[in-house]
Amino acid sequence: MEEQIIRTEYSDLMQKSYIDYAMSVIISRALPDVRDGLKPVQRRTLYDMYELGIRYDRPYRKCARIVGDTMGKYHPHGDSSIYEALVVMSQEFKKGLPLVDGHGNFGSIEGDGAAAMRYTEARLQRVTQEAFLSDLDKDVVDFVPNFDENEKEPVVLPAKVPNLLVNGSDGIAVGMATSIPPHNLGEVIDAAKAYLKDPDISTEKLLALMPGPDFPTGGIVVNKDELPAIYESGTGKIKLRGRVEVERLKGGKEQLVITEIPYTMIGANIGKFLNDIASLVETRKAPEITDISNQSSKEGIRIVLELKKGTDTEALKNLLYKKTRLEDTFGVNMLAVADGRPETLGLKQILEYYIEFQYELATRKYRTLLAKEQEKREIQEGLIKACDVIDLIIEILRGSRSVKEAKACLTEGITEGIRFKSEASRKRAAKLRFTVRQAEAILEMRLYRLIGLEIQALMEENKRTLKNIAEYEDILENHQSMTRVIVREMDAIKKAFSRPRRTSVENAEEIVLEEKKIEEMPVMFLMDRFGYAKTVDMVVYERNKEAADCEYKYVFPCMNTGRICVFTDTGKLHTIKVLDLPFGKFRDKGSPIDNFSNYSSSEEQLVGIGSMEALRDKKLFFGTKSGMLKIVDGSEFETNKRTVAATKLAEGDEVLLVAVTDGSEQTVLQSREGYFLRFGVAEVPEKKKGAIGVRGMRLGETDSLEAIYLYHAGTEQTIEYRGKTMVLNKLKAGSRDTKGTKVRG
């Protein structure tokens, strides 16, 4: 056969390949099925545990065994994804109805990860076994070949629980994501029963039975009036708040105790929440808080905020709701796989699919049970009939040369080859017409079944079988009977596994935070040579003036409501709110200035710093490595932005010095090759901050400025140069834009 070249458009091929990949991710990995509420990895893991016999009433088994078996048989996508799914299904703080009973370290609500799978053990929860897996042997769902066609796996688990709503789901597919909150099992079953009775029931009436989400972490849903629209469309935002209680202590003091958190806070966000509170204290937005302690344990969340006496606790609660994740939003997008395709579903649609699935399960289940009972009836009737002619059957068996002959006689009345005691027996045997199944049961029957009590028990068993057949036929033929069965199973699940609601649903007023007006006052800015900055009260500074001037590199006054300007060698100006800086005792270490601005000490060097208010009425002297100088009016640097350009630089140039000047100083420019030039600052013209400036010193092709000094005439200015002390005042005075004097070390 000749080789054929198929020509195709590259874009068409890529489009088809991408769509195939996207659908594979959507259907086979990321989204749950609306019927059992499980993603494929969850379904396969639970089914594998069922196959391994890891039931709720049997010993735990190593998670590594479960993960390895699941990966080898059903889910060839890596062990980490399987173990993560197993862990999440066991975590009570994530799932409203955990499906796996974990034994060992399965992580914590504060974001600690689970131990390695070789250390942890697991088994099925009772609810999983009874409500998800119990009917798998009754042909209620279809089975399909696994990835290598050596095993069979269920397309969907026969879940009697509306799991998509009870446990919720989250996942990211290609171009779409699902986010379904968990709900209360008992309430969802009540809503499903109400829908079963009246498919035209409104979403509002359903929400009267199932008020809204029920998160494992508790908390408060505060936008109750918006829930009908969210559950009607399947999308929207649910507003959550943590629960805060006020505890009174001795001495009239009070403390705030956070006992429940928003569902969105679980994990690393608890640590971030504590850091946010600490930040509010440091920036003096919540000075009433004297101590923060996380006393949470396995019993639940308990975050304690100790307060000063006389604190307005309501105002502080509002501040926490507004400024931290104690109030957060849960984005709802009820996307699931329905009829083989992804679909955003409202509450009524989810219940509709759930109810349809229950009818399908019940129909297949009772068809299977009916077939088994009919088979039993056939056998029982055959055995009862056989007991009436047992002497004839024994005569047939004794006179037959093979089982085949005996079976043919029992089913078709064929008597050839069989020895009978009399012709009358032969004629009676010729009239026998047992079914094949009855004949096999008779041939396998033991003699003890001929005891009178055993025959009576057989007849009683036959009565029960006939009763079961009548019941199953009624269920299959009568829609109301099947509905009663489904409702009865729902009630049994609710009674066995439901628990009280944890999350409150209410309408709460929008938090209106009245920011406290900060009392404006002067403070002293202190920053050491390592970049740790803080502010202290002026009285504290005066008391420690000598130590402060000695220990700190930058010391200057500013207003607590003002801003600090940080000039860097890259020509940028970073601004910092003074209120953001820690304010405290003189011996407090302070915090790195990098934490409060876009300035990064690892990427740029600080060349000037000052208070924006003080610089407003001053002139600033700029000098660069290439020798460009200019004077800029300080008012040009007033800005509310965190970072702006402070000056224009030529390519490869850097700022060496930014300093306040009154125009009367002397400046000394020092080059790398040892040239010094002294002249008056008055020779440097005033320019806009967007200008490069004028040349201050003529430099050789390979030379550049190493340092720039400013000093007032009449004051002696000394520097260390190549191991010697050098007095700048003694340098020969020159003019701007000259080469300067060579100084040898």
The residue behind tokens 């929207």 is: 236
Where do we find the tokens 């009280």? 500
Residue 443 CB: number of other CB atoms within 10 A?
13
Q: Is the pLDDT of residue 394 over 70?
A: yes
Nearest to 201 by CA among 14, 347, 90: 347
Highest mean pLDDT among 278-282, 333-337, 716-720: 333-337
What is the per-residue DSSP string for 252-294?
G-EEEEEEE--GGGSSTHHHHHHHHHHHHHHTTSSTTEEEEEE
Task: Give the DSSP H/E element, type plus range, for residue 169.
Answer: strand 169-172
User: Do 36 and 165 touch, CB atoms closer than 8 A?
Assistant: no
Tokens of 634: 């300080």
Q: What is the mean pLDDT of residues 129-137?
A: 93
CB 428 within 8 A of CB 418: no
Share of the chain above pLDDT 70, in %: 96
pLDDT band at 447 (very low <50, low <70, confident <90, very high): low
pLDDT tens-digit series, residues 204-236: 999 999 999 999 999 999 999 999 999 999 999
**Mean pLDDT computed over 295-321:** 89
Place of tokens 């259907």: 27
Tokens describing residue 263: 């569902």
Half-sphere exposure of 271 (CA within 13 A, CB side): 7
Length of the chain: 745
In whole angstroms, what is the distance from residue 621 CA to residue 567 CA?
12
Q: Quote the DSSP letter at residue 699.
A: -
Catalytic residue from among 119, 195, 231, 552: 119
pLDDT at 1 over 60: no
Identify which of 246, 256, 248, 97 has the alpha carbon closest to the alpha carbon of residue 183: 97
Q: Where are the beta strands (DSSP E) in 461-550?
A: 504-505, 522-527, 532-537
What digits encode the pLDDT tens for the residues 702-739?
A: 899 999 999 988 788 888 888 888 888 888 889 999 99
Task: Tell me the C-alpha distance between 714 and 707, whole Å.
Answer: 21
- Cα separation, 120 vs 99, in Å, equals 16
> Catalytic annotation on 354?
no
**Domains annotated on the chain, with CATH:** 38-158 (3.90.199.10), 243-325 (3.30.1360.40), 359-497 (1.10.268.10), 522-742 (2.120.10.90)
pLDDT at 27 over 70: no
User: By C-alpha distance, which of 327, 345, 338, 328 is closest to 235?
Assistant: 345
pLDDT in tens, 596-641: 888 888 889 999 999 999 898 899 999 999 999 999 999 999 988 9
Q: How far apart are CA 112 and CA 563, in angstroms?
A: 40
Reading the block at residue 387, the tokens are 């007991």
Averaged confidence pLDDT in the chain: 89
Instruction: Please check the confidence at residue 364 and state whether its pLDDT lies above 90.
Output: yes
How much of the chain, in percent, has pLDDT values that exceed 90? 61
Burial readout 487-511 (b: 16 or more C-beta within 10 A, e: otherwise): bebbeebbeebbeebebbbeeeeee
Bridge partners (DSSP) listed for residue 726: 719
List b or e across 3-38, with b for residues whose CB sees 16 or more CB atoms inside 10 angstroms. Answer: eeeeeeeeeeeeeeeeeeeeeebbbebbbbbbbbbb
Q: What are the residues facing 667 on neighbouring strands? A: 679, 710
Range with top average pLDDT, 2-6, 511-515, 566-570 = 566-570
Residues 496, 497, 499: CA angle, nearest 5 degrees: 120
Q: What is the C-alpha separation between 590 and 664, in angstroms, rounded?
A: 36
- CA distance from start to end of the chain: 90
Longest dimension (CA), the chain: 152
Measuring CA to CA, which residue among 554, 567, 547 is closest to residue 524? 554
363, pLDDT greater than 90: yes
Tell the residue number behind the tokens 């009425």, with chain if given.
617
Q: How confident is the model at residue 437 (pLDDT cuts 50, 70, 90)?
A: confident
Give the residue among 520, 604, 534 at the shortest CA–CA distance from 564: 534
The whole-number average pLDDT for the span 669-676 is 92
